[in-house]
Chains A and B, each alone.
Chain A
Amino acid sequence: NAGVTQTPKFRVLKTGQSMTLLCAQDMNHEYMYWYRQDPGMGLRLIHYSVGEGTTAKGEVPDGYNVSRLKKQNFLLGLESAAPSQTSVYFCASSYSSTRTASGGRPYEQYFGPGTRLTVT
């Protein structure tokens, strides 16, 4: 089990460039999340997904788009990167609240190692 993996680990972009961050999980989790963490700050939720083909906005969604075409993958896109998007991006996944038969624990999120993005 690889758990939650993120690609790439590091990236430097110029202002205005675009890129996609990939998150993959092999735990068959229904829920997936994208967070950002700025220096000295806690994590802030960007977008999340409660299932394949479904996404929702979190606390700081502006400037980002997401897609969940496959259950195991959650993509985060930056269409036109800005220096304010310099941050560490964490992906997480969890079981859904409806998996009570198998002890679904949606509050127990499993995090990836993070992607360090710098926009110059």
Chain B
Amino acid sequence: DAKTTQPTSMDCAEGRAANLPCNHSTISGNEYVYWYRQIHSQGPQYIIHGLKNNETNEMASLIITEDRKSSTLILPHATLRDTAVYYCISGPPTGNQFYFGTGTSLTVIP
């Protein structure tokens, strides 16, 4: 059974914010939410993670709901290079058992 659910695909206009939702209703107390992305056929790349507080780094922001059952990854100013598959993962801080699922295919449109 999938631990997270994400929309299959999304489009976003270049320069606008891309908001990618994720449901993780069965997340347990010590599990974090992680986001990775995979550009074309390359290996996935880590973006950001969080436990219960909102997080921001140079790549993105992560908003986690108070009940921790869902989160949203925000790319503030999407560029064409952000076209990729985005994976939302819930898992322990050890990172040993990541279930990537099928992710959301984001297409940034010029």
A contact residues vs B (CB 8 Å cutoff) = 4, 31, 35, 40-45, 48, 50, 56, 58-59, 88, 90, 92, 94, 97, 106-109, 111-114
Q: Which residues 46-100 of B sit at the A interface, judged by CB distance below 8 A?
A: 46, 49, 87, 91, 93-100
B contact residues vs A (CB 8 Å cutoff) = 32, 34, 36, 41-46, 49, 87, 91, 93-103
Contacts of A111 in B (CB 8 A): 42-45
Contacts of A106 in B (CB 8 A): 93-96
> Can you list 13 A-B contacts (CB < 8 A)?
A4-B43, A31-B95, A31-B96, A35-B100, A42-B100, A42-B102, A43-B87, A97-B95, A106-B95, A107-B46, A108-B95, A111-B44, A114-B41
Contacts of A92 in B (CB 8 A): 43
How long is the Cα–Cα vector from A112 to B42 in the complex, in angstroms? 8
CB distance from B90 to the nearest CB of A (A): 11
How long is the Cα–Cα vector from A48 to B42 in the complex, in angstroms? 20
How long is the Cα–Cα vector from A114 to B39 in the complex, in angstroms? 13
The chain A residue with its CB closest to the CB of B101 is A42
CB distance from B101 to the nearest CB of A (A): 5
Indicate if the CB atoms of A107 and B93 lie closer than 8 Å: yes
Partner of B97, one of A45, A112, A114: A45
Q: A42-B103, A97-B95 are in contact. List 10 more A-B contacts (CB 8 A).
A: A42-B87, A42-B100, A42-B102, A43-B44, A45-B97, A59-B97, A97-B94, A107-B94, A108-B46, A111-B44
Contacts of B102 in A (CB 8 A): 40-42
Indicate if the CB atoms of A113 and B98 lie closer than 8 Å: no
CB distance from B93 to the nearest CB of A (A): 6
Partner of B96, one of A4, A40, A48: A48
Partner of B42, one of A35, A56, A114: A114
Contacts of B43 in A (CB 8 A): 4, 90, 92, 111-114
How long is the Cα–Cα vector from A90 to B100 in the complex, in angstroms? 13
Contacts known (A92-B43, A113-B43, A114-B41); A97 close to B93, Cβ less than 8 A:
yes
Contacts of B41 in A (CB 8 A): 88, 114
The chain A residue with its CB closest to the CB of B42 is A113
Indicate if the CB atoms of B42 and A107 lie closer than 8 Å: no
